Amino acid sequence: MPLLKNLPREDPGTPNLTGVWPFLLWIARQQWRTLALGITWGIVWMLAAAAVPVGLGRGITAISEDDMQGVVLWSSVVLVLGIVSAVSGILRHQMAVANWIGAASRIQQLVARQAADLGGDLPKQVATGEVVAVSASDVERIGSAFDVTARMAGAIVSYIAVAIVMVFVSPLLGAVVIVGVPLTALAIAPLVKPLERRESAQRARFGETTELAADTVAGLRVLRGIGGEELFLRRFNEKSGEVRQAAVGTARIRSILDALQVALPGAFLVAVTWIGAQLALTGELTVGQLVTFYGFAAFLVLPLRTVTETAHKWTSARVAARRVIAILSLERQHPDPIDPVSEPGPGDLVDGESGFRVERGHVTALVSGEPHDATAVLERLGGYVPGDVTVAGAPLADLDREVLRRRILVQDKDPIVFAGTVGEFLDVPMSGRVTASAALTSADADEIINGLPDGLASELPERGRTLSGGQRQRLALARSLVADPEFLLLDEPTSAVDAHTEIRIAQQFEGARQGLATVIVTTSPLLLDHADVVALLVDGRVVATGRHRELLRTEPRYRAVVLRDDETLAGLGGAE
C-alpha cells in the first residue's frame, strides 16, 4: 500500500503525554490524511448502502404501476449504488488498514525509542514483561480503535440521512428512528465503565504474568541447577489463574455487549418493520415505501453494530493508552545536562564518593567483599546513576551523553546477546585500533567462532541461549574490545569461565588496551596478578591500593576477600 511505504518513520514525533485523550488525539493529528480519506470513503460507502432501499422501493413501485422505464431506471440506480458501495468499501478498508498499521507502528517506534533512550534505566523502572505486553497487545488495541473510526463516521452520517428521509416520508417512522437509534446506542453506556475497569485489571495481571515468564525463561538454567523449576511453575500457574479469572470477568461484560450488539438492532428492526406494516395496511404507505422502510430498518443494523463495536474498541484503546503513556513518561535517572560543558581532554576518571581513581594506561582492579558495592561504583563511573564523578577534572554529570557513551563503556557481569549473527554482534562503533579478529583472540574467543558452523556468519538465538555463560562473557568482552573506549569498565568479566581460559585472557588482554584505562571488578587472583593497580573497597570506600602480591602480604582484609576466608573477614568486621 503506497501510504505505508514510509514505515518505519524516521521520526515518530513527540507525543502529548498529559492524558489519554490528548495522546490519542495527537496520534490522530499525525495521520490526519489517512483518517480523513478513511472517513470520506466510510461515509460514501454507508450512504451508498443506505440509498439502495430507496432504489428498490422506487423500482417496486414502478413494477406495480407497470412503468418499464421506471423499472429500468431504478434498476440501473441500484446497480450503480452497488458498484459505488463496493468500490468505496474497498477503499475504505484500505484506509482502515493504513490507520491501524500507522497508529500501531508509530506507538511501537515511540516505545522502542524510549527503551533505547532509557537504556539500563528501563528495567530498573518497569518490568520487562510490561514492555513486551505494551509492544505486543496494547499497540494493537489502539490501532484497532483507529481502524473503526472510518466506519463510525459513516454510521453517523448515514443515520442522519436515513432519519431525514424517513421523517419526510413518514413522520411517525422518522420519529421512531430519530429517538430509537440514540436510545439503543445509549443502552450500552452503563457497560463501558465496568468493561474499562475489568480490562485494566486483566491488563495488569497479564503484564505481571508476562514478567514472571520472561524472568523464568531468562534464568532457566539456574533454576534447573538449583531444582527451582517446580516452585516457579507453581508461581506461574497462580499468576495464570489470576489472568484467567480477570479474563473471565472481562468476558462477561464483553458477552453482554456482543449480545446487545445483535439483540438491540434486531429488536429495533422488528419494531420499525411492524410499524411500517401497520401503516401499509391502513394505506398510509405504499408497498414500495414499505420495502424502502424495511430496507432502511435492515440497513440501520449496521450503524448500530458499529456503535457498539466502537464503544468496545475505544474502551480498550483507553486502557492501552494509559499503559503506553506510563512507559513513555519514564525519565532517565541521569538526564542530559541542560548546558553541557565542552568535552574535556585526556585525564583520570575519579569517583569522589568511594575515592576510586582510574588512570589512563593502567589496568585497575577493584576488589570488594560485597559485589553490589563494586557494581555501584561502576554504575556511578558509567553515568548510569548520579554521583560525584569527574573525568579529567570535569563533572561527569555535565557531559553530553554522546560524549559520555563514547568515552566510557560498562560491561555488565551478565551481558545481553541479541538475536543475529556473530558478525552483527561484533559490529559496533569502533576506534579502528582493534579489529574483530584481534579482539576475539584477546578474549580467547577464537575457539568459539571455530566451533560454530558458519563462523562469524553463524546465527545466534535471543540471549545467546545456545552458548554457555562463559562463551557469552568472552564474546561480550570481544565486543567491548572492538569498541575500544577510553575507559572500559568490566564487572566480573570472567566469572563464568574456567581457570585455564581465565589465565589466557589475563595474558592476552593487556595488549588490546595499550595506553587506555581499564577497570576490572574481580576477586580472581589470576586477573588480579596481571593488574597494574588493585584497590580494595570496604563499606563503599577505597581503603587500600597497591599491587596484588603486595596487598596479600600487608592487608588482611584484602587477603581474606581474595582467598575467600569468610571466617577471617567476619572477625575483621570491615574496620580499618
Q: What angle do CA 548, 365, 428 make, to 5 degrees?
A: 145
Question: Which range, 4-18, 198-212, 561-575, is most confident?
Answer: 4-18
Buried b (16+ CB within 10 A) or exposed e, 93-117: bbbbbbbbbbbbbbbbbbbeebbee
Distance from C-alpha of 351 to C-alpha of 381, rounded to nearest angstrom: 6
Residue 266's CB is within 10 A of a number of other CB atoms, namely 12
pLDDT in tens, 322-346: 989 999 998 877 677 777 888 888 8
- Predicted confidence (pLDDT) at residue 574 exceeds the cutoff of 50: no
Q: What angle do CA 411, 413, 416 make, to 5 degrees?
A: 70
- Predicted confidence (pLDDT) at residue 570 exceeds the cutoff of 80: no
CA dihedral of residues 221, 225, 226, 229 (deg, nearest 10): 50
Amino acid at 537: L
Q: Are 133 and 205 in contact (CB under 8 A)?
A: no
Please tell me which residue, 405 or 239, carries the higher pLDDT value.
Answer: 405
Distance from C-alpha of 532 to C-alpha of 365, rounded to nearest angstrom: 8
Question: Which range, 64-68, 153-157, 198-202, 516-520, is most confident?
Answer: 516-520
Mean pLDDT of 507-531: 90
Its sign, for the CA torsion 226, 227, 231, 233, is positive
- Confidence band of 244 (pLDDT split at 50, 70, 90): confident
Q: What is the DSSP letter of 176?
A: H
Q: What percent of the chain has pLDDT over 90?
A: 31
Distance from C-alpha of 139 to C-alpha of 133, rounded to nearest angstrom: 9
Say what angle helices 32-64 and 149-169 make with each other, to 10 degrees.
Answer: 30
Strand-strand pairing, 349-351 and 389-391:
antiparallel
Residue 450's CB is within 10 A of a number of other CB atoms, namely 9
pTM: 0.67
C-alpha cell at 299: 440497513
| Mean pLDDT computed over every residue of the chain | 83
pLDDT in tens, 28-82: 999 999 999 999 999 999 999 888 888 888 888 888 888 888 889 988 998 999 9
Q: What angle do CA 464, 466, 471 make, to 5 degrees?
A: 70
- Confidence band of 14 (pLDDT split at 50, 70, 90): very high
